[in-house]
Amino acid sequence: MKGMMGKILRVDLSNRRISTIDTSDYEGWVGGHGMGSAIFWDLAKEKRINGFDERNVLTLMASPLNGTPVPSASRLEMQGVGLQSFPTEWFTRSNIGGRIGAMLKFAGWDGIVLEGKSDSPVWIDIRDEKVRIRDAHDIWGLDTWETQSTIWKDVSGKTDFTRDWAEVNDEHWSTQRPAVLTIGPAGENLCRNACIIHEKGHAFGQGGFGAVWGDKKLKAISVIGTRSVTVADPDGLMKAWEWARKRYSKWPPDPDARFYNQFAPSVPAFQFWPTKKQGRRKACFGCFSGCHAVFADGKGTEGKCYPTIMYLFQDLKKHGRVTDATYEAVNLMNREGFNAWELGRGMGYVKSLFDQGELGPGKNIECDLPFGEYGGTRFVEEYLEMVIERRGIGDDLAEGMPRAAKRWGRLEQDQKTGLLPCPFWGYPEHYDPRVQVEWGYGTIMGDRDMNEHEINWLFWIGNPTDWIPSGGRKEPVISAEEVANILAEKMVPYQGDPRMLDYSEENIYSERFAKTIAWHRHFTRFWRQSVLLCDFRWGPINTYAPGNKGELAEAEEPFFSAVTGKKVTIEEGVELGRKIWNLDNAIWTLQGRHRDQVDFAEYIYREPFNSPQTNYMPGRENGKWKYLDMTGRRLDKKKFEEWKTRFYQLEGWDPKTGWPTRKILESVQLTHVADELEKQGKLGAAPS
């Protein structure tokens, strides 16, 4: 397939051996997640392992579109057994932007497979086809930014990048700095909440892979390449770009449309300054939108989205205004290689326990953090230091929030009240399942905070506001009925039923809502996580486009065929996504999964949702579409169990266990997977 480089790098860290896998062996999976799941299936012979097991195989997979000017084909997908989910360490995924996916392709590789564990710190130095496993003692202990600048000097010598080309390999030159992935002290100290950083603020954030790298003694991977990515139809690709720009974009963009018209250059996501900043917008490779930013004062540089609001409310509360503390927290976190959700929610949890008198000097949970400084830089610094160095309760928190709660004997009670804000698989709340039901369902039927925004845009359209930091909801520009209709039309093969986006209490346990979740799982497994388009940029609604119809499930086809020379319809891609989703569930099944484990934290069922911010989702009330206020919502546990049954039946899985059946696996050409499940006594029973 055009766009692919033909080989995957295979690194055996235990034996320090480098070899290759032919991409053609896995070409049917196209790239990214599909390839990663298939490779994990083949190479991780024992699936019932935890993240620290030497047999844990990690894959970092690119797609045919990386390294081409397809808008926002800028992602790289990592998979393996992660350390974050609780109580089971699921086979999971993480995803990153920046330059690394493209640069891996330019170096001649479609992906990297990591096996085994090194007995001492190493880093992997990739320069085109020349790959070396190198000693990392000199960079072990450095923060993520220091590590990258050290590696740049090593790889590119004394190159002054404002003046010179650097020789990469044998008369092959580049003006670009190596693209580096690295862990920081958090990963080195095996914190489950450690992440892997690229540049200043791109991250494989969730999944718990930072500590897997730390345990494998892998400090960093550096990639620099000078090769060519082939494109089947260059003129077609340029024409597709022009077409997409005219249809979905506008210059200058409408300032108020930034939360949904994602194909246009955007305001850096969630940066709030009282005055104009000296800075630039910064984009991932080939991205239209550019949601990051770089500043003259370096504060919050490359931070975006949740990291830049993680500490904002605390800062506001303490100081009465947004100060540098909000942005210094971003830099600290990125340097240490620590996940934003675990940091923000973790500090919040610890503060709540302090406020209740449960935690502090001389309390049930001994802790001497300076809570008077909560909202200021000193608190974040000391919290991070305490956790990463595993001092006192830092050792508990380094195991992640739910495991810390368990060690303190508070897991059950805090999950009941929601004091521990971890509703699904021990992951901190990103969106609340009581409001963003599709987010909750998609996460709990999977392996981790799903972090997929396709349907989430309906929340942003329903809640247009400057709610950070001032508050107040404006009137949505598009009606609930219209957004439901637009997205429903796109949800092939289940298209045409707008009630699939009806968040009324009557509907969220229905079979049609099971179709919503099934569609979402299948669609993203292929069209986002395998093809590696950024989910944040390819949305369902776009007010610049005819009929307000966004680029999602519409514009992917011409770009994919221009690069690869293969025509894949949206529906065909969704069908391949279904195959990938089935393979993932087979892996989880072999890991010991059963439907009884698929359950939210108790507060999701017990506690009515309440928040100072507005939370509206589209739905029907008395036969009419409107944006429903989700305040007061809880999920009904009994109805959720019934919904699970409907979901399993829809997917062709055994509703008693949640395990895939032979019939469904054979229908997606996974007979060998069915055979293995049967051998291990884990095949779902056929419906009687």
Partner 1 sequence: MAGSSVSAKSVIFQEHTALAIPAAEGYLLVDPKKCQGCLSCMMACSLVHHGSVNLSLARIQVTHDHLADFPGDAVISMCRQCIEPLCLKACPEGALHVDSAHGNVRTVDAENCIGCGECIKACPYPIARSVWNHESGLAEKCDLCAEAPFWKETGGPAGKKACIEICPVHAIAFTANVPMQEGDSGYLVNLRGKAWEQFGLTTD
CB 198 to partner 1: min, Å: 9
Counting Cβ atoms within 10 Å, is residue 236 exposed (0-12), middle (13-18) or buried (19+)? middle
Rank residues 234 and 372 by Cβ distance to partner 1 and give the closer one: 234
Residue 270's CB: how many other CB atoms inside 10 A?
18
Q: 73 or 384, CB closer to partner 1? A: 73
Beta bridge partners of 17: 12
Interatomic CA distance for residues 316 and 319, integer angstroms: 5
Q: How far is the CB of 277 from partner 1 (least distance, A)?
A: 6
**Cβ closest to partner 1, residue 67 vs residue 394:** 67
Question: Which residue lies nearer to partner 1 by CB, 164 or 571?
Answer: 164
Pick the closer one to partner 1 by CB: 111 or 290.
290
Pick from 6, 550, 605: nearest CA to 259: 550
Structure tokens at 539: 């949305």
Q: Which two tokens stand for residue 518?
A: 């099934």
Closest CA to 290 of 339, 324, 323, 253: 253
Least separation in angstroms between CB 59 and partner 1: 23
Q: Residue 18 CB: number of other CB atoms within 10 A?
A: 15
Q: What tokens appear for 498 in the block?
A: 């707008």
Q: Min. distance of Cβ 280 from partner 1 in angstroms? A: 5
CA diameter of the chain: 72
Give the Cα separation of 557 and 566 in Å (integer): 9
Minimum CB separation of residue 474 from partner 1 in Å reads 17
Kindly tell me which of 72 and 589 has the beta carbon lying closer to partner 1: 72
Per residue in 318-333, is it b (16+ CB within 10 Å) or e — as a string?
beeebbebbbbbbbbb
Of 282, 292, 332, which Cα lies nearest the Cα of 311? 332
Instruction: Tell me whether residue 152 or residue 519 sits nearer to partner 1 (CB atom).
Output: 152
Query: How far apart (Å, rounded) are the C-alpha atoms in residues 483 and 485?
Result: 5
Is it true that the peptide bond before 493 is cis, omega within 30 degrees of 0? Answer: yes
CB of 172 to partner 1, least distance (A): 5
Whose Cβ is closer to partner 1: residue 266's or residue 314's? 266
Smallest distance, Å, CB 156 to partner 1? 11
152 strand-pairing partners: none
3-state SS assignment for residue 392? coil
Residue 350: phi and psi, rounded to 5, are -65, -40
- We find the least distance from the C-beta atom of residue 197 to partner 1, in angstroms, to be 11
CA distance 202 to 97: 6
Q: Which two tokens stand for residue 19?
A: 């070899």
Q: How far is the CB of 219 from partner 1 (least distance, A)?
A: 17
Cβ proximity of 458 and 548 under 8 Å:
no
Q: In the complex with partner 1, which residue's Cβ is closer, 116 or 236?
A: 236
Nearer to partner 1, 335 or 345 (CB): 335
DSSP class per residue in 424-489: BTTBPPSS-TTTSHHHHHHHHTSSS-----TTTHHHHHHS-B-TTTT--BPPPSS-HHHHHHHHHH
Query: CB of 225: closest distance to partner 1 in angstroms?
Result: 8
- Kindly state the smallest distance separating residue 254's Cβ from partner 1, in Å: 9
How far is 189 from 191, CA to CA, in rounded Å?
6
145: tokens are: 């930014």
Least CB distance to partner 1 at residue 576 (A): 25
Instruction: State in Å, rounded, how far the first CA of the chain is from the last one.
Output: 42
Q: Nearer to partner 1 by C-beta: 297 or 596?
A: 297
Q: Which is nearer to partner 1, 86 or 106 (CB)?
A: 106
